[in-house]
């Protein structure tokens, strides 16, 4: 199954696991001291920025690939053939 999961999705699971650790630690720290950690808020902010950047990169890559294929088709009259994964 893991060969079908993209690196982006695996990275999302890693960050979700880290968040799953941070939230109970924040709750335990609050119970012990009465003060919340700011790391959880900053973590999710940085996580949102990271996935926005990944989305922008993927959109740019898809657009550039589309333009390359379009230009190749206009020049040769043949659609590019994607390699077959083994």
Predicted confidence (pLDDT) per residue in 46-78, tens digit: 778 888 888 888 888 889 988 888 888 888 887
Average pLDDT of the chain, as a whole number = 78
The predicted model scores a pTM of 0.52
| 26 band by pLDDT with thresholds 50, 70 and 90 | confident
Query: 31 to each of 24, 34, 35, 44, how far by Cα in Å?
Result: 11, 6, 8, 22
* 39 pLDDT above the threshold of 80: no
Selected residue with higher pLDDT from 38 and 47? 47
DSSP category for residue 38: S
Query: What is the C-alpha to C-alpha distance for residues 55 and 51, in angstroms, rounded to an integer?
Result: 6
pLDDT value at residue 1: 47
Query: What is the C-alpha to C-alpha distance for residues 57 and 50, in angstroms, rounded to an integer?
Result: 11
What is the full DSSP assignment across 42-54? HHHHHHHHHHHHH
């Amino acid at each position: 199954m893991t060969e079908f999961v993209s690196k982006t999705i695996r990275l999302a699971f890693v960050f979700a696991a880290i968040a799953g650790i941070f939230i109970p630690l924040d709750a335990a720290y609050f119970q012990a001291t009465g003060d919340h950690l700011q790391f959880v808020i900053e973590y999710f902010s940085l996580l949102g920025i990271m996935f926005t950047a990944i989305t922008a990169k993927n959109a740019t890559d898809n657009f550039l690939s589309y333009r390359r294929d379009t230009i190749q088709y206009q020049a040769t009259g043949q659609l590019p053939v994607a390699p077959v994964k083994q």
